[in-house]
Structure 1
């Protein structure tokens, strides 16, 4: 979002992001402007190789246990090291995980923070700094997680000295990142989306946004668990992540080079969640899913693996069946 806004405002930012940015059609570029934006990945600990002028931490939750063997304590240690070598640190004051971090912070959140937001349920969000109205941002992004994203970007750009009045208009054209609630196709009144969400909190956020936009009863969530270790360690959290879906289908686990773990699989997870289980590759999943879809359904593929191909396979089937 920050990369998109600065680019559209003509500030020629350089950036490296985790997904394809709409309209710019790339995840990275080197330009002449003075701003460089990077989406850093904590999964393997290499985040500590960077010393940013402004570090933004939107949330902190247990994940990547293949690297952080002791869970949250190891994550917190890594983030505290990164915080110590950053000039300014902005954190989400509403996230429980960030409360475990140490340092001098600039906070953002919906209450009791340096940067706050009001009218969060509308397209027009009012953003305040130290209690005073800073700017008004119009956005078409759905979901409370996108309110936090917008708030974080405004706070970071303000701290960087960007004139907000020159960039505020460029928030609304942003439609989201590739593989972030990305519309794949539409046929017979059925809409198919692809979302990279593979952590319980990400899934909750994606489904909450979908339910608020389309109605829970129309949301069909197709979940491909990503890594056996993640499904095992966050099993209970995953069980509560699908409350905003009217229908849930679970596929086989995408191993991502991991060995299987006895009892940790899509079939057993679906049984405990009391939802449908569909085995096989994405062609198989699409073939088994297609006959049960009806007009008004909003299908959302969730996961970081081959689930991204589900929408394409459904669209192929629709063309063949015409």
Structure 2
């Protein structure tokens, strides 16, 4: 398909973080854009403000008439949308060009120098750091991100078309549509077993992804992964390596060593060794664009972060509130370790919303072990996303596996009362579902309560 023949674009599931970045791109190049999503959110409201028409009912009658010309309209859908979706079926039955989000992303970026960030954890933070570094060093790039960068308040950046930055998503094997020049793999922990069946099939898919790298391209892999590539790590023998870490005013200060590079006193302000690794591989990838190491090191120090990735919502001597997207046991462990390192000896309350019945079932014991590290846990009901309930799998089932002395399943409307009753030193909210829509309400209420004391 030639994108030049497309005159308008319709999205099924336009409110998703990856879909909305694509929608912003087509709007940016002045194509008419419209779409459907099941829920109105702050993100869909932002899209509407740019002139995009969105409706929230699966109803063919609500598709704007101008988007019903199959010769000039591209239909983009997310794999999270069911094949029984009536609008999807309408477009399919009437001969429209229908593409998955990943296919369109591959078409847009294939003629650019493409940086692709893959891994079961860390994709969004790494790609946002990389986009920030390239932007700060004047690289002409387009970035499609899986989160809202706190540096440019968007999941989309267009500073040119010579280079591109994309997340290489393993879900539904989407990353096999990409042909990057430079790629990294941050992790390959078992996940999406509803798609892959077992961990080996997931690993095989990552191996297939490495074969998508263009001839002469470069692959970076975290030290310890069973893949051949340029390695990166902390206090080891990696090709790109961080040494002599100290913490100063809540930020990491370290030395960075790589082939023909030796930098001292580099700063990075995002807590967590996992984020430090994300920053390191973003630095390594940016070197491949010809960016000067010293400039990149300075830019690392100015990276602000990504919304819902260890984001400080309240940070005072008396009380700390952190929000994170963590929805896998490995990610919860990383959040816990970062809290322990940056905020030792605090009484911590974790509020967690499990995401997907299958993920909760497949990793129930691992979730219980990770959550049991916290002093106290409030569990919300499982966020189903694209799934239907599984008999016997719910938050009460998970709670019974946990060993915390303080643990409880709560409704969303009861969160605030429970937080106030427990009066923790540090509150952390975690999950990939709609818990994110509660964060500002919690922050505002707790800020107000603290001001009254």
TM-score normalised by L of structure 2? 0.64
Q: CA RMSD in A?
A: 2.3
Match status 1:83 vs 2:210: yes
1:47-126 → structure 2 map (5 Å cutoff): 47-69=175-197, 71-86=198-213, 87-94=217-224, 98-99=225-226, 101=227, 104-110=228-234, 111-122=236-247, 123-126=252-255
Q: Secondary structure at the match of 2:162?
A: coil
CA deviation map 1:281-321 (0-9, x unaligned)? x2222233322224xx2111110012223433324544786
Is 1:278 the counterpart of 2:400? The answer is no
- How big is the shift at 1:186? 6.2
Runs of 4+ in structure 1 off by over 6 angstroms are none
Cα distance in 1 for residues equivalent to 2:289 and 2:185: 16
- TM-score, normalised via structure 1 length: 0.88
1:38 aligns with one of 166, 180, 184: 166
Deviation digits for residues 91-124 of structure 1 (CA, Å, limit 9, x no counterpart)? 0013xxx31x4xx411112323222210234422
Question: Which secondary structure does the structure 2 equivalent of 1:241 belong to?
Answer: helix
Q: 1: distance between equivalents of 2:176 and 2:414?
A: 42
Is the aligned partner of 1:291 residue 2:415?
no
* Secondary structure of residue in 2 paired with 1:156: helix
* Distance change >3 Å, CA 239–CA 8, structure 1 → 2: same
Check if 1:225 corresponds to 2:350. Answer: no
In 1: Cα distance, 2:348 partner to 2:145 partner: 29
Tell me, what secondary structure is at the counterpart of 2:210?
helix
* CA contact 1:222–1:250 (8 Å) conserved in 2: yes
Q: How far is 1:232 from its partner? A: 0.8
CA–CA separation in structure 2 for the residues paired with 1:283 and 1:149: 35
Q: Which residues of structure 1 form unaligned runs of 5+?
A: none
**Higher RCO by CA contacts (8 Å cutoff, separation 6 or greater):** 1
1:248 aligns with 2:377: yes
For the 8 Å contact 1:217–1:246, the answer to whether it is kept is no
Query: In the alignment, what sits opposite 1:304?
Result: 432
**Cα deviation, residue 240, structure 1:** 2.3
2:172 match: secondary structure? coil
Deviations 1:69-105 (A, max 9, x none): 2x222112211111012121110013xxx31x4xx41
Q: Which residue of 1 aligns with 2:109?
A: none
Residue 60 of structure 1 deviates from its aligned partner by 0.6
CA distance in 2, matches of 1:279, 1:299: 16
Q: Is the 8 A contact 1:211 1:244 kept in 2?
A: no
Alignment CA distance shift 1:188-1:52 (3 Å): closer
* 1:28 positional shift: 0.8
The answer (yes or no) to whether the contact 1:286–1:314 under 8 Å persists in 2 is yes
| Contact 1:283/1:310 (8 A) holds in 2 | no
Contact 2:308–2:323, Cα closer than 8 Å, also in 1: yes
- 77-86 or 47-56: bigger deviation: 77-86
Larger Rg: 2
Alpha-carbon contact 2:183-2:218 (below 8 Å) kept: yes
Instruction: Name the CA distance, whole Å, in 1 between partners of 2:311 and 2:427.
Output: 11
CA gap 1:31/1:266 in 2 versus in 1, 3 angstroms: same
Q: C-alpha separation between the residues in 1 aligned to 2:255 and 2:161?
A: 28
